[in-house]
Structure 1
Amino acid sequence: MEKEEWKYLLINGKYKTVEVENPIFDKGVLNSIKDLRPFNKKGEDDKPIVPTVQDAQSLKREIYSSFFRKPFKNFLILTGAGASMDVKGPSMKALWNLADKQYKIFDLLDEDKIEENGFEIICKQVKHDYTDTNLESLLSKIEGTIHFYADIEIELDKKKVKLSDIKKDLFEIIKTNCSIPCPEDATKFPHKVLLEKLLQRKVTSPRIKVFTLNYDLLFEYASEKINAIMIDGFSFTFPRTFSGRYFDYDIVQRENSKVQEEDNFIQRVFHLHKLHGSVNWERNGDKTIIKENAVKPLMVYPREAKYEDSYDQPFFEMMARFQRNLRINNDTLLLCIGYSFNDKHINSAIEEALNQNPSFRLAIIDPGFDNNNVATSLKEIKRLALQTERILMVNETFSDFADYFPEIGTYENNDLPTINLRNEPTKD
């Protein structure tokens, strides 16, 4: 007999939940269920109808669509690696596998036979369990070995290689694989789909503020696709140089604004804060600039020292603004997408907002939030979500969430038809 197991698809307080029995998922997408609650539909013969996956999805989306239709004054977004994975970005496990493959030496006569497992040798040297595919932990142990012992040499493929060089190689793997190209199909680009809907807000409301832990340029590409203006902390002159004061700037239309004695804010403007850096940031002396094809991109790489890195500029400025926005006691919502709740400094800021800001609300979009292997902090948030409507948790992929996020429809459609004024030759 099949064991009964219920999983949450949505939690928003004690009396607002959606649960399914014995669900089967494929890459975060619900494929089948045995039962659904709440569900009490009956057929014409007054017999209960067996609920379907579509019934479960519709109920879930109806609830969270209603939640997001509320006019939150301060709307903040935080994205983690899970958001980029929907656009073929790598997971931490995928980065481990890429590094593992790079350090394997295969037999020249038998491509399936491993002659030397270099990554396992590296792990053994820094006392990391090779079966623990946590790249962040491995990098931390490599740095710790270099700092507290020595930059030891390891024999790999009959060559002596320094730990510091191995660390550089791992950083290069991360940088290369986090440089994600812009999706060709705009309908399958969730960053673009969601941003376009969010920027329909009234211009008199505070600007949407996006905070991302990812290094990629997907929000930059999305902004370009929808002709939005992005305030990212960098100057409007070249080379584009970072200064926190640019986040305090806005863009207004001067014509007629003096007559109305008020600022005439333009549409489609948002703020982008890259908390862990970017593939196109680079140091230029004591300045941080945006540079295409940066050779040494300024990024906070995954390891324990990333918390120390976050106290350097420009990361400190980004983090300070994240904390400041969470503290705004005026109807603030933080929407987390693809964030695993494994970063201590980010968790501390969210924890403070939940405990100290009575008007703060938290929404989490994660197709695996009800799994047993999630972070302890996420399990604690789930416990709280079952008690208060201040927290919404939704089992949904980023792509599906962007598609089903409700339209606000505040602005008129400003897309004008193309006009061609070229003179065509006349026919005699």
Structure 2
Amino acid sequence: MSDEVIFKSNQNAYSKNDGIFQKNGVEIKNAEEPVSETEFKQLIKSEVANFVHQSFDNVVILVGAGASVTNNEFDPDDNGRAKTGVTVAKIAENILKELKDEQYTLGIKKLPVFKLEEISKLSQYKFFEKGTTDNMILTNEILTSEKKLKKEFNLEDLLSNLFAYKKFVKESDKVKVNNTTDAILDIIKKATSYNYDENVFMHRAFLNVVSKLSKSENKINIVTTNYDTLLEEAAESMKATVFDGFSFSQTPQFDNTMFDWNLVKDVSNIKTHELVYKQKVFNLLKIHGSLTWERSESGETIFRKRKGSVKVPIMVFPSSDKYAQSYEEPYFDLFAKFQELLKIPNTLFISTGFSFSDNHISKMILSAIKTNDGLAALITDFNISPEEPNENWNELVKSMHDHYQVAFLRGTMNDNLAEFLGAKPDEN
């Protein structure tokens, strides 16, 4: 029996159950006939429209890693960079593959490295089946004799252990451990270095439709955990303007006051002066850094550069100390701005591609839902009824049942989300 929940709020739930379209568990009919898929989709769009089109003064959109994922296949180009986004689990699989020969090519150098299972054991990242002493990060696939990661393997936990272990590594292992760390981080960078392709990604359609959700004088605020540049490139392709916290100069430097500015022009009439705001202007807060950011040699200035010219990008890599790193510059300024935006009355918050497994972000959003009476939250994902939801997801569902303004929509950035929000099928 297949039951797919497509939309749910504290009032209504729409689902597709074994091909039957239902509202609150009852089959939806039109003149005694079952509704078609087109009619069902229109009902969902109406529910979403009622939720998001309320003349909000402030719109905040959180874009997570899932927004860059298409088929979740690691398809590298000639330089080993991914062509589209993949999940963290898929990146971990590629790390396993890249390190298996105990060497990794970084630039023009071939570095000796530890295999993934070896560095996991050294850094004390291992989990066991009860009553056994075998390391369980790997499982043998009988048909292919290929080693594969168990589903419980967590790249974030491994990196947390590895960063901590590096402080205490014995001298004889230091070079190889550092090489392995550099290799893993390089693989992560390559897995997020893809370019925007309008035939693959639907970010432009999404930006087009959300740009219409707020009043003309208010910029749409987009917050992202992603290092990639899909949002910037999609915005450029539609001639939109992005305030990303960097100065409008030949060598852009980080300046968090840039988010407070807007683009206007003075229109002179006979009797009055009128300010007209430029349309399609976005704030973009990259709270985990970017492939295009780099510190100066002194460390005092942060520059934005062309993606290919950055040697050491400023990025918060996945690990359990992300919360501590968020207090460093520029992350602290960006997180503070994000929190400030969530406190504004009459705010619409939309999440896409974010699983709510990151506690330091999730707790901030949950707090805003419960303390800002003027906040409405639309949570979107590829599955809004996961079999094993995390604690934060459960708290979101509870908030909906407690009659906070929370609704869930099954939709993804690169599939049908823009259409559910009001975009025309051919708008990308």
TM-score tier after normalising by the smaller chain length: 0.7 to 0.9
Q: How far does residue 254 in structure 1 lie from its aligned partner after superposition?
A: 3.0
The answer to whether the 8 Å contact 1:235/1:243 transfers is: yes
TM-score (norm 2): 0.80
Work out the CA distance in 1 between the residues paired with 2:262 and 2:170.
48
The answer to whether the 8 Å contact 1:235/1:246 transfers is: yes
- Tell me the amino acid that sits aligned with residue 104 of structure 1: K
SS of equivalent residue, structure 2 residue 276: coil
Q: 1:202 to 1:209 in 2, by over 3 A?
A: closer
The answer to whether the 8 Å contact 1:257/1:263 transfers is: no
TM-score (norm 1): 0.80
- Tell me the amino acid that sits aligned with residue 399 of structure 2: L
Q: 1:208 to 1:202 in 2, by over 3 A?
A: closer
1:103 matches 2:99: yes
Q: How far does residue 387 in structure 1 lie from its aligned partner after superposition?
A: 3.9
Work out the CA distance in 2 between the residues paired with 1:349 and 1:260.
44
Q: How far does residue 218 in structure 1 lie from its aligned partner after superposition?
A: 0.7
Q: How far does residue 190 in structure 1 lie from its aligned partner after superposition?
A: 2.0
Partner in structure 1 of residue 120 of structure 2: 123
1:310 matches 2:326: yes
1:173 matches 2:159: no
Work out which of the two has the higher radius of gyration on C-alpha atoms and give 1 or 2. Answer: 1
Q: How far does residue 394 in structure 1 lie from its aligned partner after superposition?
A: 0.8
Partner in structure 1 of residue 169 of structure 2: 150
CA root-mean-square deviation: 2.6
Work out the CA distance in 2 between the residues paired with 1:277 and 1:81.
13
SS of equivalent residue, structure 1 residue 105: coil
1:162 matches 2:162: no
Work out the CA distance in 2 between the residues paired with 1:311 and 1:42.
55
Q: 1:363 to 1:119 in 2, by over 3 A?
A: same
SS of equivalent residue, structure 1 residue 378: helix
Of all paired residues, the percent bearing the same amino acid is: 26
Partner in structure 1 of residue 258 of structure 2: 246
- Tell me the amino acid that sits aligned with residue 64 of structure 1: V
Residue 344 of structure 1: which of 359, 363, 366 is its match?
A: 359
Partner in structure 1 of residue 5 of structure 2: 8
1:92 matches 2:88: yes
Residue 22 of structure 2: which of 9, 27, 36 is its match?
A: 36
Partner in structure 2 of residue 403 of structure 1: 419
Work out the CA distance in 2 between the residues paired with 1:300 and 1:257.
50
Partner in structure 2 of residue 19 of structure 1: 15
Partner in structure 1 of residue 79 of structure 2: none
The answer to whether the 8 Å contact 1:10/1:18 transfers is: yes
- Tell me the amino acid that sits aligned with residue 88 of structure 2: M
1:213 matches 2:225: yes
Residue 158 of structure 2: which of 138, 142, 154 is its match?
A: 138
Work out the CA distance in 1 between the residues paired with 2:193 and 2:185.
13
Residue 52 of structure 2: which of 40, 58, 68 is its match?
A: 68
Residue 371 of structure 2: which of 356, 369, 377 is its match?
A: 356
The answer to whether the 8 Å contact 1:151/1:164 transfers is: no
Q: Identify unmatched segments of 5+ residues in structure 1.
A: 23-32, 107-115, 155-159, 409-428
The answer to whether the 8 Å contact 2:114/2:177 transfers is: no
Q: How far does residue 354 in structure 1 lie from its aligned partner after superposition?
A: 1.4
- Tell me the amino acid that sits aligned with residue 224 of structure 1: E
Q: Identify unmatched segments of 5+ residues in structure 2.
A: 72-83, 103-112, 127-136, 138-149
Partner in structure 1 of residue 203 of structure 2: 191
Equivalent pairs, count: 372
Partner in structure 2 of residue 276 of structure 1: 288
Q: 1:354 to 1:302 in 2, by over 3 A?
A: same
SS of equivalent residue, structure 1 residue 289: strand
Partner in structure 2 of residue 113 of structure 1: none
Work out the CA distance in 2 between the residues paired with 1:328 and 1:163.
46
Partner in structure 1 of residue 385 of structure 2: 370
Work out the CA distance in 1 between the residues paired with 2:325 and 2:163.
14
1:229 matches 2:241: yes
- Tell me the amino acid that sits aligned with residue 12 of structure 1: S
- Tell me the amino acid that sits aligned with residue 238 of structure 2: I
| CA deviation map 1:35-63 (0-9, x unaligned) | 633434166xx5x64x6655554433332
The answer to whether the 8 Å contact 1:80/1:212 transfers is: yes
Q: How far does residue 93 in structure 1 lie from its aligned partner after superposition?
A: 0.6
Worse overlay, 86-95 or 310-319: 86-95
Task: Kindly report which structure 2 residues correspond to 1:259-298, keeping only aligned pairs within 5 A, or say none.
Answer: 260-284=272-296, 285=298, 286-292=300-306, 293=308, 294-298=310-314
SS of equivalent residue, structure 1 residue 406: coil
The answer to whether the 8 Å contact 2:254/2:302 transfers is: yes
The answer to whether the 8 Å contact 1:353/1:360 transfers is: yes
